[in-house]
Amino acid sequence: MPTTSPFFSNTTGYSGEQSLVDDLVVEQIALTGVDIYYMPRKHLNLDRLLHESTKNVFEVAMSIPMYIKSFSGYQNGMELLTKFGVRSSDELTLVMSRSQFETFYSPYLKSYYQSIEGDGPTGELDKNIGHTAARPKEGDLIYFPFDDGIFEIKYVMFDQPFFQLGKGYVFEIQCEKFEYSGETFETGIEQIDDSMVKPDYYRMELTLDNGTGSFTQFEKVKIYDVSAPVAGTDELEFRLYDDPGFLEGKEFVTATVMSYDAPNKKLIIGDIDNMDPDQQKYDTGQIEINKFDSVYIQGNTSGAIWYSAEAEDAEFAFQDNKTIQDEFNVIKVIDPGDENPFGFY
């Protein structure tokens, strides 16, 4: 039976030849690539059945050299005007060395995910919640420094080029322009963390009443409810939905300062970790539109302390929440004949 030559193998290869190809790949990326930040995704309140989380956090950014395969420009590079605003559909293909990833980044990723799972340094990563240190994974983000853009990894290819000398040497990462939808960025790199401020996304504007100090941009604040005590108690707390849909008491809510207008006493916050649902006010029968109308705000970094007199959605393009809210405020009294199926107080 005829066979391929046992002296020149294109399928199994030899360790020396494989090491040579790998060294050439690493050198080529070092000479012609760029340093790009890779950000693994951290899930908060992950639904294991649907594999969806209520919020994603990116708190680690690792500089990794990558080669830009789509060197002639963005693929599918066009902008579309939609009812939600201008949407960019830019795509990017990057090439990363496998050996470099496994040597320098996998150990740190494993330690990072182990700290999230709380199983200690000997625990195995839970792949059912998307934790793996063997490769970059879909849903993680790439910061592209040339245009200050963030891209989301959509697919990671393992077989390009196709097993030269019986081995794969690179990860080919296919990325698409990232669309911000309330994620938290706490990487410590300003060019990345300011992504929470740039896009048109939900913000709350607080009109401040009295207090001291000045808030700083991007600092975390704690917000306490001072509107009215919980029915039948002397406690002051927000009543928020937890994941199963039940109401839970919460001492305070955290948020991030997006901007602060000291002369006009206007504070705009975003990245709010939870929102108080509309509830029937126990003493008047009215719906409490926004319990953030009467809150106590404390800056974690600046130490500023203020009380709010009013809260409303901050306006931005292609959004009509404020108009709808103004119309609802006119008819917010509950009809006494209506039933209250959820038993809100």
Amino acid (1-letter code) at residue 80: L
Residue 59 lies in a domain: yes
Query: 240 and 166 in one domain?
Result: no
Buried b / exposed e along 46-76 (16+ C-beta atoms within 10 A): beeeeeebebbbbebbbebbbbbbbeeebee
The verdict on residue 76 lying in a domain is yes
Predicted model pTM: 0.70
The reply to whether 92 and 177 lie within a common domain is: yes
Name the one residue in this structure whose structure tokens are 């970790």: 273
- Whether 34 and 103 share a structural domain: yes
Q: Is 308 within a domain?
A: yes
Which DSSP symbol is given to 316? -
Within 10 A of 107 (CB to CB), how many other CB atoms are there?
Answer: 11
Do 165 and 45 fall into the same domain? yes
* Number of domains comprising the chain: 2
Q: How big is the CA angle at 36 (ends 31 and 39), to the nearest 5 degrees?
A: 150
Domain boundary among 150, 166, 194: 194
Q: Is residue 343 part of a domain?
A: no
186 and 214 co-located in one domain: no
* 140 part of a folded domain: yes
Parent domain of 123: 15-194
Per-residue pLDDT of the chain (345 residues; tens, 9 = 90+): 777 776 666 666 677 888 888 899 999 999 999 999 999 998 877 777 777 777 788 999 999 999 998 766 666 655 555 555 556 678 889 999 999 999 999 999 998 988 888 777 777 888 777 788 889 999 899 998 888 889 999 999 888 777 777 788 899 999 988 888 878 888 888 888 887 766 667 788 889 988 999 999 888 999 988 765 544 445 456 766 544 455 566 778 888 898 899 999 999 988 887 765 555 555 555 555 567 788 889 999 999 999 988 888 777 665 666 677 677 666 665 555 555 555 555
What long-range pairs does 225-232 form, CB within 8 A, spacing at least 24? 225/276, 225/291, 225/294, 225/295, 225/296, 226/294, 226/295, 226/296, 226/307, 227/288, 227/291, 227/293, 227/294, 227/295, 228/281, 228/283, 231/282, 231/345
Residue 57, strand partner residues: 42, 184
Residue where a domain stops, chosen among 178, 194, 210: 194
